[in-house]
A and B are shown apart, each in its own frame.
Chain A
Amino acid sequence: MTSTILQLPRFTGRLILGFLAQFGRLSLLVVELVRGLAEVRIWVPRTMTEAATVGAGSLPIVFVIAAFAGAVTAFQAGYQWQTNLPVYVLGTLIVETIVLELGPVLIGLVLAGRIGARYAAELGTMRVTEQIDALESLGRSPASHLIIPRVLAATLMLPVLVIIADVVAVGAGWISVKQVLPVTDADFAFGAKYFWRPFDAYYSLIKATSFGFAIGLISCYMGFNTKQGAEGVGKATTAAIVTSSVVILLLNVLLAKILLTA
C-alpha cells in the first residue's frame, strides 16, 4: 500500500516531464518551421506538389463520405420529422448541419487518418532510415524540404476538400430527402437560403483550415520524432492519427464556443 502511494507522485512526475518534453520538442519544431519559411524557393514548389497529391488523392474518399453523410442526414431528418413544421425547414436543417458541423468535422477526422498516417509514416521511415540525417548532413533544412510543404499542403487543401464535401453532401441530402418526405426543390432551396448567412461558410472554412493545420503539424511532428525502427514508425503513425483526431474534436468545441456563442 505504502509503495503504491509512493509510486503515484513518481508516475505523475514522469507524466508531467513527458508532457513538457513533448511540448518543448513541438515548440522547437515550430521555431524551425518559422525559420524555414525564409527558404521560399525550396518550399513553394514542394508545397504545390504535395497539395496536388493530397488534394487529388483525397477526392474519392471525400466524395464517398460526403455523399453518405448527406444522405443519412436527410433520412434522419425524415425519421424525426413533425408534420406541424413547414417542409422548407428541411433545407435549412440539412444545409446548416452539413456546412457548420458534418462537413468539416467528418472530413477532418477522415483526413486525419488518410493524410496524417501518410505524413507520419513517410517522415518516420525517413527518420529511421537516416534520410532526415542525410538531408541535414548535406547542410539542408528538413523544415523547408519536408515539413513546411506538408503542413501548408494540409492547411490549404482541407478547406478546398471541405467545400467540395459540403456541396456533395448538400446535393446528396437534397436528393435523399425527396425520397422520404414530400419536399419540392423550391421548398428545399427556399429553406436553405432562408437561414443562410455568409458567416456559416466562413465558419466552416475557419474550422477546416485549423483542422488542416493541426493534422499537418501533429503528424509531421510525430513522424519527425520517430524512434526505434519499424515499430517506432507504427507507433508514430497511430499517435499521429489519434492525437490529430482528439485535437480536431477539441478545436471543434473551442471554435464553436468562441465563434458561435460570442
Chain B
Amino acid sequence: MIELRGVKKRFGEQVVLDGVDFEVREGETLALLGPSGTGKSVLLKHINGLIRPDQGKVIVDGREVATLHRKELSELRTTIGYVFQNGALFDSMNVFENVRLGLSDETKFNDMEYARTRVAECLKLVNLTPETMEKFPAQLSGGMRKRVGIARAIAGAPKYLLYDEPTSGLDPVNADIVDELVTRLDEELGVTSIMVTHDVRGAFNVADRIALLSDGRIVLQGTPDEFRQSNNPKVKAFLERDFENSSFAA
C-alpha cells in the first residue's frame, strides 16, 4: 500500500505540493489527474524517493521512504517500476541492454541466457517483437520508446508500477494502445499502479479510482462514477471540456 500524508514540497518560492494526502490500495489502479504543471510528476517521484518531501510522510508498504538508508531505498526501488514520460531510455544502449537494466536481481542480470529470454518476454508483453532488442532508442518511434520504457519497468517483476504521462505526445490510436496495455499489465501482472495523466478519457478507461491534483492539493479522490457526479467546481471545470464530447459522460 502507498500512502501520502500531508506531503509538502516547494522549489524556491514556488509551492508545488501543499499538503497532499492520498492512498493507493493493493491491486488497484489510480489515475492522478491535474492540469499541466501542477506537480503530478513531482508527487510521483516522492513515492520512489527520487524527491524528498519538505514536510509530511510518504509510506510504501509501511516504510517511510524519506527515512530509508541508501541500501533500503535501493531495495524498495526494485519493487517499484517507474515509467518515465519520454521513456528515459539510455541513448548509448540498445533496447536489450536498456530492458536488461530493469532486472534487479544481479544473478539474473548477469545470466545472459535468462536475461535474453526475460527481455523478449517483457517486449512481447508490450507488443514488441524480439527483433526490437538490437535497436537503439534513436531508431524507435515515440510510442515504441514508451513501450520499451514500460518493458524495462516490468522486467524486475515489481509490485508497483508508476506511470508518468504514458500517453502524452501520442496520437489517439497509440494512446489507446498504451491505455489498453496498462489495463492488461495490471490484470496479468497483478500490480498496483498509479498513472499520472492529464488525459481524462484515458484515466476513466484505465483507473479503478481517480484523484485530482490542483493547487498543490488533492481536490477529490474517488471512483470514476463519483467523479462524474461530483459538484466540486474544480472537478467540473477540469472535466467539462471532455464531458461535452466524450463517451464516459453517459
Contacts and interface: CB of A to CB of B under 8 A. Distances in A.
Interface of A: 35, 125-126, 129-131, 133-141
Interface string B99-115: 00110100000000000
A175 to B, nearest CB: 41
Contact of B45 (A133, A135, A138, A140): A133
B88 interface: yes
Given A138-B77, A140-B74, 4 more contacts: A131-B90, A134-B90, A135-B101, A140-B101
Contacts of A134: 82, 84, 88-90, 152
Given A129-B86, A130-B86, A136 B91 contact: no
Nearest to B110: A41
Nearest to A42: B106
A131 B88 contact: yes
A108 to B, nearest CB: 26
B101 A137 contact: no
B50 A133 contact: yes
B102 A138 contact: yes
Indicate the member of A125, A126, A133, A135 with the most B CB atoms within 10 Å: A133
Contacts of B241: none
A134 B98 CA distance: 10
B140 to A, nearest CB: 14
Interface string B51-66: 0000000000000000
Given A35-B70, A131-B91, A133-B45, A139 B78 contact: yes
Contacts of A135: 90, 101
A142 to B, nearest CB: 12
A129 B145 CA distance: 13
Contacts of A131: 88-91
Contacts, number: 48
Contact of B80 (A125, A129, A137): A137
B85 interface: yes
Contacts of B85: 130
B48 interface: yes
Nearest to A146: B90
Contacts of B180: none
B77 A137 contact: yes
Contacts of A133: 45, 50, 82, 84, 88
B240 interface: no
Contacts of B86: 129-130
B75 interface: yes
Nearest to B90: A131
A220 to B, nearest CB: 16
Interface centre among A129, A131, A134, A137 (most CB of B within 10 A): A137
Nearest to A125: B91
A160 B1 CA distance: 54
Contacts of B78: 138-139
Most chain B CB within 10 A, of A131, A133, A134, A141, is at A134
A126 B82 CA distance: 16
B115 to A, nearest CB: 14
21 contacts: A125-B91, A126-B90, A129-B86, A130-B84, A130-B86, A130-B88, A133-B45, A133-B50, A133-B84, A134-B84, A134-B89, A135-B90, A135-B101, A136-B50, A136-B77, A137-B77, A138-B101, A138-B152, A138-B156, A139-B75, A141-B74
Nearest to B103: A138
Contacts of B74: 139-141
Given A35-B70, A133-B50, A139 B77 contact: yes
Nearest to B81: A137
Contacts of B101: 135, 138, 140
Contacts of A129: 86, 88
Contacts of A139: 74-75, 77-78, 104
Contacts of A125: 91
